[in-house]
Amino acid sequence: MNTREVQQRLVDIGWPIAVDGSYGTATFEAVRCFQQGYSAADLLVDGHAGPQTWHALDVCCFFGGACGNNFWYREFKSRGDGWIRVNRELVRGLVRYRQAYGPTSVVSGYRDPGRNRAVGGASNSQHLYGNAADIPAIASVNAVRNLRVFSGIGHDPNGKVRHVDVRHVGPNSTGGTPANPTIWRY
């Protein structure tokens, strides 16, 4: 696979980069973000499209840009600059959530800094790191806590979870863990 092929696969998956044959900063960062979000394997997150990453790109494209079972990279795309960033641990947690509580969509995933400011997000929001997803309010706080996969859980006044994150992968300013998540009400 050459640089253009890597770039084309990344564009097909959803990254807003040029297919120009130059392995520049945008391509390097897109490969890093792809590696970080791919949940079928623990790819080395180094920005280089070596054999394992090439294979993962092929598999991902074959399955329409999937980063996990029934989740696609495009679902985590920022509505600001169009960039995609998601952590594989978040994807794996969402897969577990979906297995327990049924079909789930990502209402909001990654937020670039401008988008985060525009929506009034916290200055150190987990969305900025690809560690968070807002989801439809279906399951209760206790039910989601019992999954033991999320270290941040935000809920509505009725106790239904609207936000999940994996802050334990860093940065973690609250000390939340999957066993003892940081929980707050919107």
Report the percentage of the chain scoring pLDDT > 90: 99
Give the CATH number of the domain where residue 96 resides: 3.30.1380.10
Give the mean pLDDT of 145-164.
98
Based on the domain organization, do 63 and 74 belong to the same domain? no
Cα–Cα–Cα angle for 116, 153, 65, rounded to 5 degrees: 60
Q: Are 165 and 131 in contact (CB under 8 A)?
A: yes
Residue 67, SS3 per DSSP: strand
> What band does 183 get if pLDDT is binned at 50, 70 and 90?
very high
Name the residue range of residue 21's domain: 1-68
3-state helix, strand, coil in the chain (%, to 5): 40, 15, 45
Q: Is residue 119 predicted with pLDDT exceeding 90? A: yes
pLDDT tens digits, 125-144: 999 999 999 999 999 999 99
How many whole angstroms separate alpha carbon 41 and alpha carbon 16? 24
Give the mean pLDDT of 54-70.
96
Of 68, 97, 115, at which residue does a domain stop? 68
The confidence score (pLDDT) of residue 67 equals 97
Based on the domain organization, do 100 and 50 belong to the same domain? no
Based on the domain organization, do 46 and 135 belong to the same domain? no
Based on the domain organization, do 114 and 157 belong to the same domain? yes
**Total domain count, the chain:** 2
Tokens 């863990």, residue located = 177
Based on the domain organization, do 33 and 5 belong to the same domain? yes
Give the mean pLDDT of 107-119.
97
Structure tokens at 82: 């169009």
Q: Is residue 1 predicted with pLDDT exceeding 80? A: no
Query: Which of these, 116, 92, 64, 105, lies nearest to 178 by C-alpha position?
Result: 92
Q: Is residue 15 predicted with pLDDT exceeding 90? A: yes
**69 contacts: CB under 8 Å, gap ≥ 6:** 39, 95, 98
Of 68, 92, 119, at which residue does a domain stop? 68
Based on the domain organization, do 45 and 98 belong to the same domain? no
The confidence score (pLDDT) of residue 132 equals 98
The confidence score (pLDDT) of residue 175 equals 96
pLDDT tens digits, 34-43: 999 999 999 9
Based on the domain organization, do 60 and 76 belong to the same domain? no
| pTM score of the predicted model | 0.96
Give the CATH number of the domain where residue 56 resides: 1.10.101.10
Q: Is residue 54 predicted with pLDDT exceeding 90? A: yes
Based on the domain organization, do 153 and 110 belong to the same domain? yes
Based on the domain organization, do 63 and 76 belong to the same domain? no
